[in-house]
Amino acid sequence: MPAGRNSSIRVSIVGASSLLGKEIKQVLEDRNFPAFDIALLDESVPEGTLTEAGGEPAFIHALAEDSFDGVEMAFFAAPSPNANKNLELARKSGATVIDLTGASAGIMGAESVIPDLFSGARVTGKKHFAAPSTPAIIAATLTSALTQNAAENVAFVFFMPASERGMAGVEEIENQTRNLLSFREFGSGLFDTPAAFTVLSEYGPKAKPSIFDMRGAISREVAACLGADAPVPAIQLVHVPVFYGYSFTAYASFKTPVKFEQLNDTLASIGVRIAKAGDPPLSNVSVAGENEIHVTPPARDPGTKTGVWLWGAADNLRLAAVNAVKIAEQLLADVPTN
C-alpha cells in the first residue's frame, strides 16, 4: 500500500460468487472496512452478473489484464485453474494480496498470519498473505494456548462440512440426500462415493483433492502460522454430512496436571470463547455467524490426570473471512499518516 495512505481504499474480491467470496464481502460491510469501492471479480459466472454490495446493486465482472488497476487490496476467495496467473496480475499491479485459496502456500514472501494470535510486527510491510483456512486457524490458536500452558503433545480431529468444497459440495450432499430418501441411485459425483448420511476418512479415488491431501495442506498452514513458537500438532480430518461449520475435538497431554483457570485465561486472551454453564450445547449449528472459535470448558481425560480434552466449533466461512479482513485492517492501521 502507498505510504501515508490512511483514507478509504479500492478493494477487489476474486471469486466473489463463491461462498467464501460472499462471506468476505459481508464481513467487509459488517466491520465498516474503509473501502470506497469493492470490485467483484469472478471467472465462474457470466460478465455482469447482478448481486449487491453494501445494500446497493452491484455487478460481478470477469477477470481481465486490467482488473487490478487501481486496486490496493485484493482478496482471493475461490480456487481457480488460473490462480497463479491471477495472483501475479494482482502483485504486478501493486495490490496487497490476501489469498484464502491455498494457492499462495509455498510462494516466496507469502506470509501466513493470524492477527489475534501474533503481534502486528508480523504484518507490517508485507504485500502477500496466504490467509489460513478455518481448521488451520483453530489448530494454530489452540496449540499456542496449550503449549503456553506446558502441553507436551496436542492432537486435533476436525469434522469437515460439505461447504469446504464450495457450493458444489453443498449441492452434492443435497442431491445425494434426495436420491437416497427416494430410493434412487446416484452417480459418483464430486466426492466419488456416497457422502450423505456417511462419516468418511477418505473420498473415492477420483475425488480431488483427497481428504489426505487436504489434511496435509492444513498441517503445512499450521506450521507456517506457528513458526518456531510451538510444535505442529497431530491432525486428523473427517468428512461429516453437514452443510456448514467445523466441529472438532482436541486432546493435549501435560507432564503435570494443568491448571484450568490459567488455561482458560490464556484461551480468552487470544479471542477464544469458552462456553458457560447454561449455554446451549456447542455445535456447528450453534456457532453459525459467529466470529470466534468456541470451545467447551477443558475436561480431564478419565484415564489420566494429565490428559485434557476440548470440544469446539467454528463457522468455517465466517472465521476464515474475519481473519483475512483483520489482516487487511492491521495493514491499514500500520500505514503512517501524512
Does 235 reside within a domain?
yes
Are 233 and 257 members of one domain? yes
How far apart CA 233 and CA 211 sit, in angstroms, is: 17
Supply the pLDDT for residue 92.
93
Name the pLDDT band for 1 (thresholds 50, 70, 90): very low
Number of independent structural domains in the chain: 2
% of the chain beyond a pLDDT of 70: 90
Contact 331, 266 (CB under 8 A): no
Considering only residues 43 and 142, tell me which one the structure prediction assigns the higher pLDDT.
Answer: 142
* pLDDT surpassing 80 at residue 49: no
Are 182 and 269 members of one domain? yes
Does 45 reside within a domain?
yes
Does 271 reside within a domain?
yes
Does 230 reside within a domain?
yes
Are 21 and 146 members of one domain? no
* pLDDT surpassing 80 at residue 123: no
Are 175 and 292 members of one domain? yes
Q: What is the CATH number of the domain that holds 265?
A: 3.30.360.10
Could you tell me which of 80, 100, 79 has the C-alpha nearest to residue 319? 100
How far apart CA 306 and CA 231 sit, in angstroms, is: 19
Are 112 and 162 members of one domain? no
Are 60 and 207 members of one domain? no
Q: Tens of pLDDT along 265-322?
A: 999 999 999 999 899 999 999 999 999 999 999 999 999 999 999 999 999 999 999 9
Angle 186-190-196 from CA coordinates, rounded to 5°: 60
Supply the pLDDT for residue 335.
56
Are 171 and 235 members of one domain? yes
Does 1 reside within a domain?
no
* pLDDT surpassing 90 at residue 46: no
Q: Tens of pLDDT along 210-227?
A: 999 999 999 999 999 998
Does 173 reside within a domain?
yes
Are 110 and 167 members of one domain? no
Contact 260, 297 (CB under 8 A): yes
Averaged pLDDT for residues 92-107: 91
Q: pTM of this prediction?
A: 0.92
Does 124 reside within a domain?
yes
Q: Tens of pLDDT along 139-164?
A: 999 999 999 999 999 999 999 999 99
Least confident segment among 21-35, 85-99, 100-114, 272-286: 100-114
Beta bridge partners of 313: 247, 294
Place of cell 476464515: 320
Residue 41, φ and ψ in degrees, nearest 5:
-125, 145
Beta bridge partners of 11: 38, 73
Could you tell me which of 23, 178, 83 has the C-alpha nearest to residue 170? 178
Are 84 and 146 members of one domain? no
Contact 61, 67 (CB under 8 A): yes
Name the pLDDT band for 180 (thresholds 50, 70, 90): confident
Domain that holds residue 273: 136-316
Grid cell of 166 as nine digits: 464450495
Supply the pLDDT for residue 3.
38
How far apart CA 249 and CA 277 sit, in angstroms, is: 19
Supply the pLDDT for residue 9.
92
Are 287 and 179 members of one domain? yes
Supply the pLDDT for residue 5.
44
Burial of 187 (0-12, 13-18, 19+ CB in 10 A): exposed
Could you tell me which of 157, 176, 104 has the C-alpha nearest to residue 311? 157
Beta bridge partners of 308: 252, 300
Q: What is the CATH number of the domain that holds 78?
A: 3.40.50.720
Grid cell of 35 as nine digits: 473501502
Q: Give the rounded distance of the alpha carbon of 34 from its chain centre.
A: 22
Are 140 and 128 members of one domain? no
Are 37 and 153 members of one domain? no
Q: Tens of pLDDT along 231-246?
A: 999 999 999 999 999 9
How far apart CA 189 and CA 55 sit, in angstroms, is: 36
Q: Give the SS3 label for residue 298.
A: coil
Q: Which long-range contacts (CB under 8 A, 24 or more apart) does 213-221 make?
A: 214/160, 214/164, 217/102, 217/105, 217/133, 218/133, 218/135, 218/136, 218/139, 218/158, 220/105, 220/106, 221/102, 221/105, 221/112, 221/130, 221/132, 221/133, 221/136, 221/140
Grid cell of 328 as nine digits: 487487511
Name the pLDDT band for 195 (thresholds 50, 70, 90): very high
Name the pLDDT band for 117 (thresholds 50, 70, 90): confident
Considering only residues 282 and 81, tell me which one the structure prediction assigns the higher pLDDT.
Answer: 282
Beta bridge partners of 57: 52
How far apart CA 74 and CA 228 sit, in angstroms, is: 29
* Identity at 210, one-letter amino acid code: S
How far apart CA 316 and CA 111 sit, in angstroms, is: 21
Contact 311, 295 (CB under 8 A): yes
Does 4 reside within a domain?
no
Instruction: Provide the mean pLDDT of the chain.
Output: 90
How far apart CA 198 and CA 290 sit, in angstroms, is: 27
% of the chain beyond a pLDDT of 90: 74
